[in-house]
Amino acid sequence: MQLKKRLVIALCILTTLSLFLSACGGSPAQEIPDPDEDSNNKTGTPPQVKGLQDLDSLPYSILYIDNSRNLVQLNLNDKTLITLAERVSCYAPDWPRQRIALAIKDPNEEFAEQGAVEIALYSYTDKKTECLNSSYLFGGLRFSPTYRFLTCQSGLGGMDIYDLETGKHYDAADNACSLFIFDEWPLWSPDGMRYAMHRLLPGENDEPLGVYVVDLLSKEETLVLEAKPDKKVRVHDWVGAEKLLIEFEPEPYTWVDQEGLENNINTAGNFKLLDLHTKALTEAKAPVPSPWPPENESPNGVWVLYEEYDDRRPQGKIWLKNKDTNIIYLLGEGRLPLWVEDN
């Protein structure tokens, strides 16, 4: 009987202690973000989470947009943070010329919410920002392979293209840009002077569906492969100088549109090579899909830089993972992290 009383008393003490600790703010275990399911963990140990202050000095810097819309550069050697530009929606670096293309939100908040931005170039050389033009942004910014042309997905349903050598600007109403649709990018030729694009929807002038090649200097738009309305095609790669890798829609599967991508898997179709001179089609193997999200590795291949993405909240977090130790470091809050090259 005495033993039973002692057990009851001990149980009451443990219960009270547990409730006291809980009331004092005991926090749940922290969920550790992982950039991918197939982690390159060489140690076999579970990942650990640490902060920027715990990171040893690294001879690198990174760029990202913080949660205040500033484009910032974080020096991983001395942990210093500098602001390069404010009110940035997205950016694209041109490291060979030491500059960054920026989409800067309009100072008028009402216009900014509608996608109004200024397209600008930030120079590492003189630390100045040059405005190119105004636009309504739908997607992001990308450079051509030679960095001569800058493309901007327009909220008007097309693509703005800036010739940074001549200063010319082609908007969505130009013939050379008329074939673009939402959320699509041009496929540039290796020399960066032409691009190929597929038309999946009818144009304003009833242009045929299929694959087009556009020469930006001559503004010549050429239909190189026509597709039937019930048989769509997509262009995937520019192979060599004069061949395109084309994907034909699989049967009976229909490609998922942008509204359905979240809940559906895009099935690969049949691939063929198109010779732009002879227009001949030959069988080709399907390309190996790139990993998603892409691994943004450091120059030495040891570190992986990535963003914690959650579409339920506007704020993100920037993480750095050591593939050798499996330790993850929280660098800051923001999005679109990239390594800085040659700066």
For residue 266, what pLDDT is reported?
55
Identity of the residue numbered 296: N
The pLDDT mean for the chain works out to 79
Judge whether residue 136 has pLDDT over 50. Answer: yes
Q: Indicate the range of 4-8, 97-101, 127-131 predicted with least confidence.
A: 4-8
Tokens of 280: 């001949």
How far, rounded to the nearest angstrom, does the alpha carbon of residue 54 sit from its chain's CA centroid? 28
Residue range 137-161: mean pLDDT, rounded:
84
Could you check whether the bond before residue 229 is cis, i.e. omega within 30 degrees of 0?
Answer: no
Judge whether residue 81 has pLDDT over 90. Answer: yes
Tokens of 32: 């550790």
Residues 94-104 have pLDDT tens digits of 999 999 999 99
For residue 269, what pLDDT is reported?
78
For residue 250, what pLDDT is reported?
64
Q: How confident is the model at residue 37 (pLDDT cuts 50, 70, 90)?
A: very low
Judge whether residue 40 has pLDDT over 90. Answer: no
Residue range 71-86: mean pLDDT, rounded:
96
340, 338, 335: which is closest to 308 by C-alpha?
335
How many Cβ atoms are within 10 Å of 250's Cβ, its own excluded? 12
Q: How confident is the model at residue 12 (pLDDT cuts 50, 70, 90)?
A: very low
Judge whether residue 255 has pLDDT over 70. Answer: no
For residue 217, what pLDDT is reported?
84
Query: DSSP string of 45-89?
Result: PPPEEEEGGGSPP-S-EEEEEETTS-EEEEETTT--EEEEESSEE
Q: How confident is the model at residue 244 (pLDDT cuts 50, 70, 90)?
A: very high
**Exposed, middle or buried: residue 207 (CB in 10 Å: 0-12, 13-18, 19+)?**
middle
Judge whether residue 211 has pLDDT over 80. Answer: yes
Judge whether residue 176 has pLDDT over 60. Answer: no
For residue 221, what pLDDT is reported?
86
For residue 325, what pLDDT is reported?
92
